[in-house]
Structure 1
Amino acid sequence: MKPVIFCDFDGTITKNDNIIAIMKEFAPPEWNEIKEQILSERISIREGVGKLFRLLPSSSKRQLTEFILADAQIREGFNEFVDFTKEQGIELIIVSGGIDFFVKPLLEPYDLPIYCNSANFEGETIKIEWPHECDSLCDNDCGCCKPSILRKEAKGREVIVIGDSITDLQAAKQADFVLARDLLLDKCKQLNLKYKPFVTFFDCINVLQERGYTA
């Protein structure tokens, strides 16, 4: 049976973390403390991301969207990686702690299944909504709960997780194999998870070929 790949978006498919890019460009200085609380796991991802976007007025929707669509850069080899998975019959699912107003437009050309959070711009400040919350087996208050999505979609297949940050850690713990960079790479080393590092998606293709995931 072919494996299923769950791939992060911000800082993985894109070179930068788009939420961080938005905060650097538009948020008041207190966003930095919230970011540190998230990374140190002093507050949950759901609580932290919600707090970050409440710093921004809903009236900035157009400005934020235009900024991200102009600023975001797709990591080298992603086009080829998508083609490779389709050619080999490997399901590729995007699981993102990012927000729909920038994740979906950036991924539209690839025709992939996407799980991500949603933004509500009806109030004075941006409210993040959570259509993919934790199931009964997860109490991490993830927001977009990657472990819950894995349990729902894996269907007995080998699970490969691709990611870069603290938001991917719980999913990586459940995976059979991890392709990791940045903070997630450090965590994989600390926890003795089965992993390989990657820089570009060409590296990911090479690892999958080495592991025999070819026709």
Structure 2
Amino acid sequence: MIEVHPFATLGRFRNTWLNARHHFSFGEYYDPARMGVGGLRVWNDDEIAPGTGFDPHPHREMEIVTYVREGAITHRDSLGNEGRTEAGDVQVMHAGTGIVHAEYNLEPGPTRLFQIWILPGTQGVAPGWGTRRFPTRVEGTLTPLADGRAGANGEALPLHADAAVLAGRLRAGQSVTQALGAGRVGYLVAATGAVTVNGTPAGTRDGVTVTEEDTITITATEDAEVVMVDVAA
């Protein structure tokens, strides 16, 4: 089953420095029908003004993946980690037994990103953080950027969850087929452009829930950048 959640229907939050859309219930936005998909709990579409960001705050028992769409984000945490993640790349924070972190846009223009929270498969892991560049992604494919599935290769950042975050670019008319299989669900967003998913159309920044499908075929109806989570149901 393919279910499209139009961008205009997503939850909203806006203040002087953050313009956010929430695919699932988060903060002041609550919809009992939108509490996540499988182990995927949060997908926030954030625009952060330059020179601002999220001041230090704590997390526990969550895998938090940040996919930067435009600009860059600078991370600092209570473990002493600090790093900058640019557009097209990804960072992963394992909240585990507890971590305090801050995320700032130190760039001259807005930073736009997807913040994705996935429930861990194991409680009580040591907290940690990592970031990685992906210069060799091949157009027309979905590349695992963060992966905790059985058999995951060492190129993606690790996750303490039976899940993967994948991304790729498709030219208009190009298709990519992704296997899910029994007991798994998918959620995907075209960060730019438009696609069909098993023939169902989805526009820019719409959310697409995939359930009870062994495979999906994503076809770009215009040049598109696609981000997808494959996760245990």
- Does the TM-score normalized on the shorter chain lie above 0.5? no
TM-score range, shorter chain: under 0.3
Q: TM-score, normalised by structure 2?
A: 0.24
Higher RCO structure (Cα 8 Å, ≥6 apart): 1
Flag the structure with higher strand content: 2
TM-score normalised to structure 1 length: 0.25
* Between structures 1 and 2, the one with greater helix share: 1
